[in-house]
Amino acid sequence: MYNENMKRLLIIFISALLLLFSLACVSAQDAPELDFNRAYQDYLYIYGQYREAHNQYITAREQYLTYKTLTAKTLALEQTLDMLQKRDEAVRTYLTALRMKMAETTGISDYKQNTLYLKLDAEVSWYTEHREELTSAATLDDLVATSEEAESRYDKTLVLIYQALGVILGGKENNIRNQIDEQVELIKDKISQIRDKGDKDTTTTERWLLEAENKLTRSQEKLDEAMTILNALKSSDRNKEGEHNESRELIQESHLYLKEANSYLKELIREVKTAD
């Protein structure tokens, strides 16, 4: 189960990143991602090593089960240790990449960001220490017992991963929404000037502005729904991935409402300019 989770972890992370980058294209300017990119490349490198080590572990285990020799047993012990250490390292580098991405994402409250920093740092420390503990295992049974600790811990880690991804995506949404809100206020002022001067009937533009604001409200509602789902996640939940996917779909819906609001504002700007 844990190894399958590792495979899904890569898919989840990449798909989440694709969504992050699609959201970024709407905002005017994004923070540089050199630090995150470096951390993410470290994760991909370590994950590749883990997959190779896992294949070698499978081969060594099959040889030991077949021949039962001391040589085969020693090799199985070595390959199992190597695989488990690289597995811990893959999770550690993944969490580090998440932290880097969060650091580079605007629109996240300081309280939420600092809270998640502490949790991510705690998880990184746990997997670092667990990796070192593996070296003290003298037998395959010892390794299996120590490995089960990580498998049990992973349920908690996965909840944190999903919540961090949601906060990062939510931060992107908040950043875009703040920029749109600024445009709304500017357009409101312009419409008021036009109405006060009597240059043009502003009934249509005011209605369009109200529709744009309604889209912003719907966007916020969808984002709030997504965050509610993620905040309620528990390590004991059996369908964590399903709940994560549901929250991500809600964030995508939230983003679509933002795009619609932005589109309305562009029409409004063209309409308002005709009064000049």
H or E stretch at 254:
helix 240-273
Are 220 and 263 within 8 A, CB to CB? no
Residue 91 has pLDDT above 60, yes or no: yes
Contact 73, 141 (CB under 8 A): no
Parent domain of 164: 2-273
Over residues 265-270, mean pLDDT: 88
Confidence of residue 9 (pLDDT cuts 50, 70, 90): low
- Lowest-confidence segment of 34-48, 50-64, 166-180 by average pLDDT: 34-48
The DSSP letter of residue 200 is: S
Q: Which residues contact 163 (CB under 8 A, 6 or more apart)?
A: 116, 230, 231, 233
Q: Model confidence at 201, in pLDDT bands (50, 70, 90)?
A: confident
Count up the domains in the chain and report the number.
1
Q: Return the higher-pLDDT residue of 5 and 241.
A: 241
Kindly tell me if the per-residue pLDDT of 15 is higher than 80.
no
| Lowest-confidence pick of 20-29, 197-206, 209-218, 227-236 | 20-29
What's the rounded mean pLDDT across residues 43-65?
96
Amino acid 7: pLDDT: 52
Q: Three-class SS of residue 31?
A: coil
- DSSP assignment of 212-250, as one string? HHHHHHHHHHHHHHHHHHHHT--TT-TTHHHHHHHHHHH
- Give the separation between CA 232 and CA 253, rounded to whole angstroms: 20
Residue 18 has pLDDT above 50, yes or no: no
pLDDT at 40 over 60: yes
Residue 158 CB neighbours (<10 A): 21
At 172, is the pLDDT very low, low, confident or very high (cuts 50, 70, 90)? very high
